[in-house]
Structure 1
Amino acid sequence: MSTMTAETVDTVDVRDRADIARQIKQIVVFAIVTVLLTWFALTIDDGHVLYTMGRRVTKEDPAQTLNGMPLVWISLVIAVVALVLAAVNRVPKGWLGMVVYLLVGAAFFAGFMIWMYADQEAGRDIVMQNPMPETIKLATPLILGALAGVMCERAGVINIAIEGQFLMGAFFASVASSMAYSAEMGLVGGILAGVAMSALLAVFAMRYLVNQVVLGVVLIALATGLTSFFLSQIPAEHKEYLNTPLVLPPIEIPFLSKIPVIGSSLFEQSLLVYLMYASVVLVTWLLFQTKWGLRVRSVGEHPKAADTVGIKVNRTRWQAVLLGGVFAGLGGAYFTVGSTGAFDNGASAGNGFIALAAVIMGRWHPVWASISALFFGLMWTLQAQLAFLDKIPGELLRASPYLATIIAVAGFVGRVRPPAADGEPYVKS
């Protein structure tokens, strides 16, 4: 007869407590969604809404009318089924469990949007627009910043300074584009600025062994001060040559842009967006399909073991940090040549911190971090689109992207594990 050791019993108890905690969290989340969807369904008088799946309403693509009430009730049924599954502890684990969460999230989103646009006053006729095009655009710098964070932290270097890299990239992208009369040269200027900031991060983190969290905060302050100073030194008569950049035009990809619903959203974007697509693929391939990527991950997990097999730890970290600077610089270029044009103080508006949150939510994986960044981009898009409706106070709407960031990160911190040597300098003995 086999006997269970005390260590085995403790392990079983820990697993049981973890399962109970997960079940309670599922019940709470699904119950809140169910209550809200029930309230949406019972408070809508007229569920007819106007919508368009295009980027905007045109004569060729006029607004359509949808009776949203059946969709709200279907969403409520999905939430109730998920709540019952959680109550009897039958929510699947793994990718099937993720599907359940995605279905509940989509159900809540559908019910919320119908509730927001329903019961409009006569004569207003505000059209529900397809949020995808603007979500992709607004998520572009967040994804590029998240990729920079993933590259650095997978190698064991904490990069809090993404916001500073954004600011420097935005400023020098504006200057380079203005001087060269080319939006594409603005991308080059942004990359050079991002790499320069990464070099500062690497020097102080790896050569002088400065605390990397404190260093990131200092670099953000440095970038904020420098860009403000440089901007103040541009004379008004020279603004045309130093801070009037060209903006990247949208490029339509033949055939792909004609795909229904998603075509214009994904394939009628600027060059910077297409570079973002390629960057996600490139970083994923580099980290998980190449020998160099294996070395990066090894120095981020166990640098001493990597050193014993001949891997140059600090050299590999330098390479990863500088490559991350390329993506952060491109992300910064979005705020000038990718969107608004001229640089202004605080152009990045805290997006670097949201990109850092996407890194944590995405479990330091380039694909999941990009999906997390898309979620935050969706929050920004909805904030802008729903501002014309009066069912939610404007102050709460303006704060919603930041609230979503806090809630999302709070739900993931403690359940994710960063690279084991993240933030730990390596000194060869």
Structure 2
Amino acid sequence: MDILFLIVQQTMFFSIPLLIVALGGVFTERGGVTNIALDGIMIMGAFTSVLFINKMQDKMSGQLLLIMAIFIAIITGMAFSLLLAYSAINMKADQIIGGTALNMFAPAFAIYAARMMQTNGVQQIAFNNTFRIPSVPILGDIPIIGDLFFKNCYITTYIGLAILVISIIVLYKTKFGLRLRACGEHPQAADSVGISVYKMRYSGVLISGALAGLGGLVFVIPTSTNFNATVSGYGFLALAVMIFGQWKPLRVLFAAFFFGLMKTIASAYSVIPLLSSLDIPSDVYKMIPFMATLIVLAFTSKSSQAPRAVGEPYDKGSR
């Protein structure tokens, strides 16, 4: 039973950042902009927020510090995503090249800035993890469910699930969501009825930046006590989750948990009796999430139905 609790909790830790970042990808691609810079945005969001925690942890701790770091990660993600938005929407630059440039810039900047800002000159930014909640009052006392979901947990888990609910409402129950989806399917038609395609696409990219920046912090907090200018390719994995989820929030949820389970197997195989008894090199287990990504995308890519105008620059003067 303890192994089951461990697997479920670890799966949640790995799945929630995937869910948050993939939902960010849904918003930007539903608006018509391809954002492959999610990995770089995650790195920047994690860098600034973990650096803030590192500098402030002697003065405060616990959930207040984490909440403040969350806001910093969101703001950083939005600011960094503006670079992609301007190049893709205003300059009509190739969105893949622009996103790749940001992915290359982010880790280099994080390493350089970390070394310059720390007195010891190292690139790792260490922090004290004071954010784990031993047990949620009342809910943690529920048999089985309490042990699975409300003990040794983080508020970021519940924030991620709340973002899922909000995303569904915004995309399918509001005028903003309808207009955003229209700009990703047929921007000329949206423009003809007075919708500003540029503004909607900016909004989609900014939302994706906010969620990706937050996802960077959410990835680091439960799994490490230092940040080393990497999120282990989670931004690219989130893109696979988004595609596997067919750009629909609920499907993205199930895809995120599938890949989160694969990541859990890769990291916790040594404590699972069935897997640890097998004579398989550890490197093979580490490859499982990425092998699963290739296999899933190979079988689902033909049936994928991306927004029709995604990745296509919009020229207001053309029809």
TM-score (norm. length: structure 2) = 0.89
The answer on whether the counterparts of 1:168 and 1:227 sit within 8 Å (CA) in structure 2 is yes
Aligned partner of 2:245 among 343, 362, 367: 362
User: AA paired with 1:411?
Assistant: F
Residue 278 of structure 2: SS of its match in structure 1?
A: coil
Partners of 2:130 and 2:28 lie apart in 1 by 29
Give the corresponding residue for 1:421.
309
The answer on whether the counterparts of 2:5 and 2:147 sit within 8 Å (CA) in structure 1 is no
Partners of 2:263 and 2:133 lie apart in 1 by 20
Instruction: Describe the superposition over 1:225-273 as per-residue Cα deviations: whole angstroms up to 9, x where unpaired.
Output: 111111221333598xx75355422263333333443333223321111
Residue 299 of structure 1: SS of its match in structure 2?
A: helix
Task: Give 1:334 deviation, angstroms.
Answer: 2.1
Residues 373 and 344 of structure 1: is their aligned pair in 2 closer, same or farther, counting only changes over 3 Å?
Answer: same
Paired residues, what number?
Answer: 302
| Structure 1 vs Structure 2 CA RMSD | 2.0
Partners of 2:176 and 2:159 lie apart in 1 by 22
The answer on whether the counterparts of 2:13 and 2:219 sit within 8 Å (CA) in structure 1 is no
Partners of 2:4 and 2:249 lie apart in 1 by 31
Residues 129 and 255 of structure 1: is their aligned pair in 2 closer, same or farther, counting only changes over 3 Å?
Answer: closer
Give the corresponding residue for 1:147.
23
Give the corresponding residue for 2:137.
254
Aligned partner of 1:412 among 273, 278, 300: 300
Task: Give 1:358 deviation, angstroms.
Answer: 0.1
User: AA paired with 1:393?
Assistant: I
% same residue: 33
Aligned partner of 1:285 among 169, 172, 178: 169
Partners of 2:13 and 2:263 lie apart in 1 by 11
Give the corresponding residue for 2:287.
399
Between 408-417 and 172-181, report the one with greater CA deviation: 172-181
Instruction: Describe the superposition over 1:302-331 as per-residue Cα deviations: whole angstroms up to 9, x where unpaired.
Output: 000000011011101111211121111111
Partners of 1:143 and 1:262 lie apart in 2 by 21
- Say if 2:183 is the partner of 1:299: yes
User: AA paired with 1:155?
Assistant: G
Residues 179 and 385 of structure 1: is their aligned pair in 2 closer, same or farther, counting only changes over 3 Å?
Answer: closer
Give the corresponding residue for 2:61.
none
Between 248-257 and 224-233, report the one with greater CA deviation: 248-257
Residues 392 and 407 of structure 1: is their aligned pair in 2 closer, same or farther, counting only changes over 3 Å?
Answer: farther
Query: Where in structure 2 are the equivalents of 1:377-388 lying within 5 Å?
Result: 377-388=260-271
Instruction: Describe the superposition over 1:389-419 as per-residue Cα deviations: whole angstroms up to 9, x where unpaired.
Output: 1315123222111111111111110111100
In the alignment, structure 1 segments of 5+ residues that lack a partner are 1-51, 57-126
Residues 276 and 193 of structure 1: is their aligned pair in 2 closer, same or farther, counting only changes over 3 Å?
Answer: same
Residues 356 and 263 of structure 1: is their aligned pair in 2 closer, same or farther, counting only changes over 3 Å?
Answer: same
Partners of 2:156 and 2:196 lie apart in 1 by 33
Query: Where in structure 2 are the equivalents of 1:9-408 lying within 5 Å?
Result: 52=1, 56=2, 130-181=6-57, 182-236=65-119, 243-244=126-127, 246-250=129-133, 252-268=135-151, 269-346=153-230, 348-388=231-271, 389-394=276-281, 395-408=283-296
The answer on whether the counterparts of 1:177 and 1:184 sit within 8 Å (CA) in structure 2 is no
Give the corresponding residue for 1:21.
none
Structure with greater contact order relative to length (CA < 8 Å, sep ≥ 6): 2
The answer on whether the counterparts of 1:245 and 1:336 sit within 8 Å (CA) in structure 2 is no
Residue 194 of structure 2: SS of its match in structure 1?
A: coil
The answer on whether the counterparts of 1:335 and 1:341 sit within 8 Å (CA) in structure 2 is no
Instruction: Describe the superposition over 1:354-407 as per-residue Cα deviations: whole angstroms up to 9, x where unpaired.
Output: 111000000001121121011111011122332351315123222111111111
Give the corresponding residue for 1:28.
none
Structure label with greater radius of gyration: 1
Partners of 1:383 and 1:173 lie apart in 2 by 27
User: AA paired with 2:80?
Assistant: M
Partners of 1:311 and 1:186 lie apart in 2 by 35
Partners of 2:6 and 2:126 lie apart in 1 by 33
Tell me which protein shows more helix as a share of its residues: 2
In the alignment, structure 2 segments of 5+ residues that lack a partner are 58-64
